[in-house]
Amino acid sequence: MVYAVSALGRGFSMVLSPGLRSYVVIPLLANLAIYALMFTLVIQRFSGWVNYWMASVPGWLEWLEWLIWPLVVLCLIIVLAFTFTVVANLIASPFYGFLAENVERRLSGQQESIDDRSLWRQGIDSLKREIQKLAWMAPRILLLLLIGFVPVLHLVAPLCWALFSIWSMSIQYLDYPMDNNGVSFPDMKKRLSARWWPTLTFGGVVSALIWIPIVNLLVMPAAVAAGVMMWRRHYMALPVPQ
C-alpha cells in the first residue's frame, strides 16, 4: 500500500507538469459537466432511493433499521461514485491512453513512442478497450444490483460493491499502460490476479480518493500516471500468461 500511495502522489505532480497538462484539461472539463449532472440527479432523487430500499426491509428486520439505513446509503454512494467514474473514463479514454504513453516515456527515458500505432488508431483502440471493460463490469454490476434487492443478502451488498469497486479501479487504471505495451485484456486480468495484493492496494487507494468530490476529477489522470508506475514495478516483468 505504501508504494501505491507514493505512486499516486507522484502521479498528481506529473499530470500537472508542462507537457502532460494538455492530456488532462479536456477530460477535466468534460468530467466537470458530468459531475454537475450527476450531482443534480443525486440531490433530486437520493432520498427517494433510500426510502424505496428501506421499504423493502422485511418486518422481522425492522429492529436493525439503525444499521440497515447507513448500509443502504453507503451502497447508493458506491453505485453513484462507480457510475460517475465509468462514464467519465469512457469519455476520457483516448486522452488517458496518450497520457499513459507519455508518462512511461518520461519514466523510461525513451524519446521514441512505445506504441507504433497511429494517434487515430490509438484513440479508437482505447475506446474499444473501454467497451471491453464495460462488458466485463456489466454482468457483475447487474448481479450486485440484484443482491441489493434480495432480503438478508442485501445486507452484504455494500461490502460486495466495495470489493468490486476496488478491483475495477485497478482494472481501469492499470489497463492503460498494459494496452500501450500490447498486453491483451484477458492477459491483463491474469497479470492482476498474479499480483493480487498490489492490485488490491492500488485499487483501494484509488477507490478511497475517487469518492471525494472535485478531488476525484484530478484523481483519475493521477491514477493513470500511477498505473504506469505500478505496471513497471509489479507487472511488466511477469511472464506472458498461458
Could you tell me the pLDDT band of residue 191, with boundaries at 50, 70 and 90? very high
Per-residue pLDDT, 76? 66
pLDDT at 195 over 70: yes
Phi, psi (rounded to 5 degrees) for 183: -85, 125
Per-residue pLDDT, 222? 92
Reported as a single tens digit per residue, the pLDDT across 227-241 is 999 999 999 888 765
Question: Distance (Å, rounded) from C-alpha 122 to C-alpha 138?
Answer: 24
Q: Please give the mean pLDDT across all residues of the chain.
A: 80
Q: What is the mean pLDDT of residues 208-219?
A: 79
Stated pTM of the model: 0.75
Per-residue pLDDT, 2? 80
| The three-state (H, E, C) secondary structure of the chain, written as one string | CHHHHHHHHHHHHHHCCCCCCHHHHHHHHHHHHHHHHHHHHHHHHHHHHHHHHHHCCCHHHHHHHHHHHHHHHHHHHHHHHHHHHHHHHHHHHHHHHHHHHHHHHHHHCCCCCCCCCCHHHHHHHHHHHHHHHHHHHHHHHHHHHHHHCCCCHHHHHHHHHHHHHHHHHHHHHHHHHHHHCCCCHHHHHHHHHHCHHHHHHHHHHHHHHHCCCCHHHHHHHHHHHHHHHHHHHHHCCCCCCC
* Structure-model confidence comparison of residues 60 and 185, the more confident one: 185
Question: Distance (Å, rounded) from C-alpha 180 to C-alpha 76?
Answer: 34
Per-residue pLDDT, 220? 84
Q: What is the mean pLDDT of residues 141-157?
A: 80
Per-residue pLDDT, 235? 92
Per-residue pLDDT, 52? 67
Question: Distance (Å, rounded) from C-alpha 206 to C-alpha 203?
Answer: 5
Q: What is the mean pLDDT of residues 61-78?
A: 65
Could you tell me the pLDDT band of residue 167, with boundaries at 50, 70 and 90? very high
